Amino acid sequence: MTDQTKDASQTQPSSGQIPPRKSGKLWLIIGCILVICAGFGGFRLWHYFEHKNDLPPHIEGSNGRLEMTRFDVAAKYAGRITDLSFHEGDVVQTGQILAHQDDSELRAQRDAAQANFEQAQESVRRAEAEQAAAHASTGLAAQQLMHTKQMVAQSLVSDMELQNSQTAYTTRKLSEEASQHNVAAAKEAVKAASAQIAGLDANLAEMTIRAPTSGQIEYRIAEKGSVLGQGGRLASLLDPSDIYLTVFFESAVAGKLHVGDEARIKLDAMNDRLVPAQISFVSPEAQFTPKFVETKTEREKLVYRVKLRIMPDTVHRLGGVLKAGMTGIGYVRTEPSAQWPSLKSDRG
């Protein structure tokens, strides 16, 4: 009796265990699910790589980033920054004041130049007075000489008197000519002092640093109190009206492109439209693809740099949507009759 009970207990599955037949079915189901998932995932991956580069005939695409023309805001002369009136991201206009430099030394030089100018003007007035006196003296000497000649003709005075009158006239005449030279020299000194003042005024104006063009501040490089050397950079400024995408194509494509040809740009942030552009530059020299290109294989290729410029009217129409650094794909045509990819084109 005990042996039968023991045998029976051994044939019964313990609580919580799955019978072998049911366990096999479960693993079969799980395996089928994994196979289906793997197959579906593989199909999607194959489909992605098979069709991601599908483009109409004679259309070529290349990855790139939007760039804007950059200007350096720099100090023309060395000096300490006394104040700044801008921050990164600010939109500024041409000629807008961005900063001031310490100009105390230049102002002292300007004050000294002003004093020299006034002194030179006084010298002109004094020289002109001396010239007038010399001219009057010469006139008297000329009259005396004429009178002496008349008296000599009448034998009223000796020839010695005539010689003395002639010498006096000559001396007065030379003195008058010297005074004329003094007046001219004094006037030249006034001009030089005036030019020095104008130069210092121009230098003082340069101590007020202004925006060279309208645009947006990209980086603020210096701070209040910083000492900039001659030509030292204060900030970098982006021109939002001059935007382009730099792309790279192999020789077979680049050789068929011309400056002025139409192009299209699809930005990752605007994936439902193509932005019209124009080829503005095709490099005449081949280079290795830059490091920011995703794969090493791509970087090992010799390619030509091409710029696709977005026209200012398109930039204006998009209303500030475009920003430097935005990634996208630039499309070009190797045949003028080729059709662009079937995305919405942003032409207004």
The domain locations on the chain are 57-69+240-345, 71-102+208-234, 104-206
CATH fold for the domain made of 71-102+208-234:
OB fold (Dihydrolipoamide Acetyltransferase, E2P) (2.40.50)
Q: Which residue has the higher pLDDT, 86 or 142?
A: 86
Query: What percent of the chain is helix, strand and coil (3-state, nearest 5)?
Result: 45, 30, 25
Which tokens hold the place of 50?
A: 């098979």
CATH class entry, domain 57-69+240-345: mainly beta
Q: Are 214 and 238 in contact (CB under 8 A)?
A: no
Average pLDDT, the chain: 81
pLDDT-derived band at 348 (thresholds 50, 70, 90) equals very low
Pairing of strands 344-345, 273-288: parallel
pLDDT at position 49 over 60: no
C-alpha distance from residue 93 to each of 67, 97, 98, 213, 236 (Å): 20, 9, 10, 6, 14
Res. 34 pLDDT band, cuts 50 70 90:
confident
Q: What is the pLDDT of residues 277-332, one digit of tens each?
A: 999 999 988 887 665 554 444 544 788 999 999 998 888 888 778 888 888 999 99
Alpha-carbon 309 to chain mean position: 17
pLDDT higher than 80, residue 249: yes
pTM: 0.60
| Predicted confidence band of residue 53 (pLDDT cuts 50, 70, 90) | low
Taking Cα atoms as reference points, which of 307, 242, 238, 298 lies closest to residue 278?
A: 307
